[in-house]
Structure 1
């Protein structure tokens, strides 16, 4: 049986699962910063997952199927995820950075279908494998081993994950303190950095020490302006999500309330992934 969002969020070890994920995503960023940076907002995450789902759902016998700008608009615009122009600009950016390309036989067709390039495919498959490994870490499961034996389960599961995440208000609309980060440029990378740093055994008075935070170096590493990062941290501090431990503002802490809200939100996505992978494996066994 797949794990429910309530079961995941209520598991005391789930924060460790998120820390494992955050550290792996940070490593993925270091290995391919341009791609990770391109997808580093919640809006772009949902558009990229939706785009990949449309690609995998393509029926080669039906030219009207697959990934096009128009079909991605139809998928995300009704949910308020992005405007029509934002979808257009996003797809043009993927083309410019060679994370997507037009299908070889699409010349002269309107609308013109696209497909992900190899680097994008590898990144999506890695993301899926890391999420399954994180779930295995939580409950001792063998999802990653099953994926290794049935790699095509990813192709079955991903469209279901994307559509269920897009349709789920619990995932689509993060808690306000989390939304402050994930709806802003590179904010998701900042959360991964902070969650990866946490000493989960060192909580004191509802706070976790983050150690020394060099905003200038962090901004440079994540290719964001220092002013933008400082403004983001200030807003989070005003909400009580985090703050500074010293007058010089060199050490920071993260609030337990923020981590709890983040766990509840991430639990929705992990539950969707778990259910979809279980469904995909069952479908392939039949």
Structure 2
């Protein structure tokens, strides 16, 4: 039987009573997806996360690509969790294509060939590498995380913890910076939680064509970052002036790929421009924004639950 990512033994799951929670200044009650989605500060939190992720994309676009689509996101997060478990838990098995496939198969449609391709790309991009000391069967092709991957994942974890702090005034980020193992322990637990969440695996129809693209996830964050506020004008929420070519340049892909992605959203009434030929200000529908916010709330709830389990 192949083990899935788990919380390391050094951090037993604790309850959230005032005495135990006071160490990291956590409120007694944890945040849920419903309270997160309706929190008046969640818009600011989403923009903060979007800015962080877009900064990562600008600095290391190849790394960001592995977190942009729904499937690649889950592969990357699970890979990291399994590899870090092997690093931090004595006796835990190394990350191999077979173990990763076994952990993912119940939750994502992917075959071994595609999975091996993803792992090969992550290795080529400096996110995974063969372990320095491995005495097992070399045919299993084990890999482990690199300093570059660990730096990026730590930033991802700390960025999301900071945004949870924005919502309730907690001190999760401070706790993670005091304890260098906490962020990675939280990430492994987060993977356990979110990979069995039915709502996460069934994104709204408005999101589906974005989340199926290796650029679509970052595109959604870019749209979020461009929002000035959530005021509606004739059933639309306006952003700024931006062209298809601007998006193509930002994400280093062809104009035709951006057009295909945008066209589906336009046909669904989720997105458009105020002038013909995609000119003028870009606008989004309120329903589209609410769907994206709800999906982000599901993710933040998983981070919150994971943090409480290990802090």
> Is this a same-fold pair by TM over 0.5?
yes
CA RMSD of aligned residues (A): 1.7
The answer to whether 1:280 aligns with 2:306 is: no
Report Cα offsets for 1:190-211 as digits up to 9, x if no partner.
Answer: 1111100102153323321121
Q: Is the 8 A contact 2:193 2:306 kept in 1?
A: no
Report Cα offsets for 1:11-58 as digits up to 9, x if no partner.
Answer: 233222111111111111112112112332111110011001111222
Residue 178 of structure 1: CA displacement? 1.1
How many Å separate the matches in 2 of 1:260 and 1:164? 23
Segment of structure 1 superposing worse, 90-99 or 119-128:
90-99
SS at match of 2:63: helix
Report Cα offsets for 1:216-270 as digits up to 9, x if no partner.
Answer: 1321221222111011111101111111111242221011101111111111110
Q: Is the 8 A contact 1:40 1:188 kept in 2?
A: yes
Residue 98 of structure 1: CA displacement? 2.0
Unaligned runs of 5+ in 1: 282-286
Residue 109 of structure 1: CA displacement? 2.5
Determine which of 236, 239, 252 is the counterpart of 1:210: 239
How many Å separate the matches in 2 of 1:207 and 1:136? 30
Equivalent in the alignment of 1:268: 298
- Runs of 4 or more, structure 1, over 4 Å off, are none
Q: Is the 8 A contact 1:56 1:66 kept in 2?
A: no
Segment of structure 1 superposing worse, 86-95 or 8-17:
8-17
How many Å separate the matches in 2 of 1:268 and 1:120? 24
Q: Is the 8 A contact 1:26 1:189 kept in 2?
A: yes
Equivalent in the alignment of 1:72: 100
Determine which of 146, 163, 179 is the counterpart of 1:150: 179
How many Å separate the matches in 2 of 1:38 and 1:269? 17
The 1:201/1:173 distance shift into structure 2, 3 A limit, reads closer
The 1:193/1:51 distance shift into structure 2, 3 A limit, reads same
Equivalent in the alignment of 2:250: 221
Unaligned runs of 5+ in 2: 1-28
Equivalent in the alignment of 1:254: 284
**1:1-286 to 2 correspondences below 5 Å:** 1-58=29-86, 61-62=90-91, 65-106=93-134, 109-250=138-279, 251-281=281-311
Greater helix proportion: 1
